[in-house]
Amino acid sequence: MKKSIYTSALALLLTGTLVTGCDDFLEETNRQAISIPSSRENSESFVQLVNYIYEITRENTTHYQPDMLYVLEDLGTDIVTRASPLTGTDAINDYVDLNASNYVLQVYWSNQYKQIAAANTLLANADLIEGVEESLKNRGVGEAKFFRAWSYFNLVENYGGVPIVTEPITTAQSDFLRDEEQEVYELIVSDLNDAINAVDENPEEFGRVSKDAARHLLSKVLLTRGYKSFAASDDYTRAIALAETVIDNHPLEPTFADVVDIENQRNDEVVFSFLFGTETSSLGWGNTKHLLYKFEYFNYPGLARGSLYQNGIARMPTPFFFNMFDEEDTRNDETLRYVIYADVAEDGIEVGDTAIYFPKTAWSQERIDSKPYAVINADQYLVNDGVTNTHWPMFKKFDDPGAPFTYANERAFGDRDMVIMRGAEAYLIAAEAALQNNNPGAAATYLNAVRSRAGITTPLTAGDVDLALILNERARELIGEVNRWMDLKRTGTLISRVLEYNPHAALNNAIAEKHLLRPIPQSEIDASGQTISQNPGY
């Protein structure tokens, strides 16, 4: 992709993003923007408006505060927990004292409405900017609607009904009201249908929104709506049809190793990615996925802070996740690093020797004591060993060798693509929709395609398929790639699976029905003059 998709010379006039506090409502002067009227005289302004939507969405996806990276996507689920011994409490993971003043929830809300504001600015001015070719305009409008739909999908699933804003807000406004969840879904579906009709089938630039990206998102939206009281009768059927089109156009790579190979990032299975690259003008904050699910390995002999294993961001897979893989499932060794090799000579360990080993089957203490390196059995992952609080087979699925060692509040500088959608998930969406549509045989067929690619030789039959199996398959295939919290919420299994499989949340036993929605940020309620209502129980 040309770097211009992520570099915007135009500072947009986005004065009303619904997400700000009272001080921002009173802001009268924007000293960093040119006016929309003057920019309408330059057709390049349209391209810059489109580019900004990509830029802000990518940055909001990867650039959080130190304790916020992806926490509303995976933390507090069945497969990801906090990286600490079994003590203490946490608002997001343990659901203890999760309240409307939680900073993570405020920033997430804010980010989604910033993306919506960027899309609304383009949509309001698309017909007014002079000299824009019709095909370019149609495509840009479709891209804006795709991203707006995506943001509203995130909002409605996390918070329930939210204020629908479809026009730029250019004057002080605070009296917002929450629209019904059903109305938000109607806008999402409408926007995605428009996007499918408007964007390119096969964009010339890799990384642009394609018809299949819009189809993929719509299939997930319809699958999700299918569980709700206001579902359309054909939601599951349409979800399957859309997913099948994506499957046809994005066949599975031959092996899972091919999927995660950094030298094979832009393969046919990829439906949509955020791109970064090495140029400062296009890199932005950088891709942070290589920081996921890693611990402070560098405190062990033979290891140092470096650019091979890199630092982590204080979250770990649950014991349940580590036990999910069959012996023949190749995704296990392609996802997790069971051996960490020394990168410095220290304490009798030479460079290249084993520094830490995580046996899949527990070793005896006698065997552990006979080794010059650290050996950590699975039952010790959450036990402080005097070196680190917690330790586990680190993720290698998103490795970005050469990216510098950084902490979570620093630019990550990761430059590998961030894959957001790929064909394997289309199979899993189709499988879940088929099961909900009372066709477990078709569900088994979709699942077998993904499982056989992972090296699993025994096929599933219709009688094997249930929702738990599909959720487990989504975990093995897609951990770190999709929003697990939304998966569990959609399927009505969040509470039960968190209590069964998340050890810290189970310890505190605080998750309840109210947690199926996040609290509306108190700052938004206050800024609206109390016209925005709070979710029940908060």
Whole-number Cα distances in Å, 44 to 3, 39, 126, 137, 140: 15, 9, 12, 11, 12
The yes-or-no verdict on residue 38 having pLDDT over 50 is yes
Q: Distance (Å, rounded) from C-alpha 300 to C-alpha 304?
A: 8
Query: Once rounded to an integer, what is the mean pLDDT over residues 5-14?
Result: 45
Cα-flanking dihedrals φ and ψ of residue 261, to 5°? Answer: -65, 120
Q: Please tell me the predicted confidence (pLDDT) of residue 6.
A: 66
> Above 80 in pLDDT, residue 3?
no
pLDDT, tens only, 241-290 = 999 999 999 999 999 999 999 999 999 999 999 999 877 777 888 899 99
Between 240 and 64, residue with greater pLDDT:
240
Residue 38, Cβ neighbours under 10 Å: how many?
9
Per-residue pLDDT reduced to its tens digit, 371-382: 999 999 999 999
Residue that has been written with the tokens 């010790």 in this structure: 380
| Res 400 pLDDT > 90 | yes
Weakest-pLDDT range from 27-36, 378-387, 437-446, 528-537: 27-36
Taking residues 56-77, report their average pLDDT.
Answer: 83
CB 80 within 8 A of CB 317: yes
- Residue 145 reports pLDDT greater than 90: yes
- b/e per residue, 102-116, with b = 16+ CB within 10 A? bebbbbbbbbbbbbb
Strand partners, 260: none
- Residue 344 confidence class, pLDDT cut points 50, 70, 90: very high
Long-range contacts from 366-375, C-beta under 8 angstroms, 24+ separation: 372/347, 372/348, 373/301, 373/302, 373/349, 374/300, 374/301
The mean pLDDT of the chain is 91
Average the pLDDT over each of 23-32, 46-55, 117-126 and give the range with the smallest value.
23-32
Between CA 503 and CA 320 the distance in angstroms is 9
State the pLDDT at residue 64: 61
pLDDT grade for 67, boundaries at 50, 70 and 90:
low
CA distance 156 to 183: 10
Whether residue 462 contacts residue 440, with contact meaning beta carbons closer than 8 Å, is answered with: yes
pLDDT tens digit sequence for 483-500: 999 999 999 999 999 999
